[in-house]
């Protein structure tokens, strides 16, 4: 079945799509869910999915960062950041949480997203790291190179979050050549597969669910709306 929906009463709802989801349709659905969470008529949601190959331009995107405008479709979006790539083999986690019940601290929330990605990668023996002045999660190679393995872009509307994290499992890394990812030219992009880690999407999803509770359950909503 697609989508697959897993509901945990009193906690966060999880949704997993098995086939790529149209980007515009996903944005529209997120907008609708954010409004419902804000109104108290829907629970928080973590939505795991993939998109068809495309570039997204965040609120800080610059024209000169789009190197090959005709390579893939380009979508302008309301999340923070510059250009990034989405495509099959990349696990996207759209996270819709109510920060009114989680401390109303956006900086802390972004730190939690980073920590979530780091802990997920650790489950596969990969040391993901933060870098001052650079958004996302990075991997240090033995030869000194640093490559990005996870992108983070968030938007918050009336204290409800959306967008989230994009983790490179086994995407077509060649497609990153069409943009300057996140405006950073001096570092590359990698994936679990490029690091020699053979992980299925199902295994990644299991790790994401396990580590989510480790990071986010310290501040939990009182319960699912009736």
137 with 121: CB under 8 angstroms?
yes
3-state secondary structure string across 19-34: CCCCHHHHHHHHHHHH
d(CA 162, CA 86): 16
Judge whether 140 and 164 are in contact, CB under 8 Å: no
Catalytic choice (18, 24, 108, 182): 182
Cα dihedral 7, 9, 23, 196 in deg (nearest 10): -60
Pairing of strands 129-131, 134-140: antiparallel
Identify whether 182 is a catalytic site residue: yes
Residue 219: partners with Cβ closer than 8 Å, 6 or more residues away: 101, 102, 103
Q: Which two tokens stand for residue 218?
A: 């310290």
Strand-pairing partners, residue 54, are 86
Residue numbers annotated as active site: 182
């Amino acid at each position: 079945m697609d989508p697959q929906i897993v509901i945990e009463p009193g906690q966060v709802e999880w949704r997993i799509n098995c086939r790529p989801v149209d980007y515009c349709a996903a944005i529209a659905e997120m907008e609708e869910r954010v409004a419902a969470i804000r109104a108290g008529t829907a629970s928080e949601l973590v939505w795991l999915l993939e998109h068809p190959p495309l570039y997204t331009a965040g609120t800080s995107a610059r024209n000169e960062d789009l190197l090959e405008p005709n390579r893939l479709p380009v979508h302008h979006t309301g999340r923070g950041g510059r250009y990034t790539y989405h495509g099959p083999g990349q696990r996207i986690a759209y996270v819709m949480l109510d920060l009114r019940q989680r401390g109303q601290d956006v900086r802390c929330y972004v730190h939690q997203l980073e920590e979530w990605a780091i802990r997920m990668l650790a489950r596969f023996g990969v040391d993901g790291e933060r870098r001052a002045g650079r958004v996302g999660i990075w991997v240090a190679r033995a030869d000194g190179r640093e490559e990005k393995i996870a992108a983070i872009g968030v938007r918050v509307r009336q204290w409800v979050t959306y967008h989230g994290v994009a983790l490179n499992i086994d995407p077509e890394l060649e497609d990153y050549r069409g943009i300057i990812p996140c405006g950073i030219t001096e570092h590359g992009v990698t994936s679990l597969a490029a690091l020699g880690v053979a992980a299925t999407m199902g295994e990644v999803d299991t790790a994401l669910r396990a580590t989510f509770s480790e990071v986010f359950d310290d501040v939990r909503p009182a319960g699912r709306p009736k």
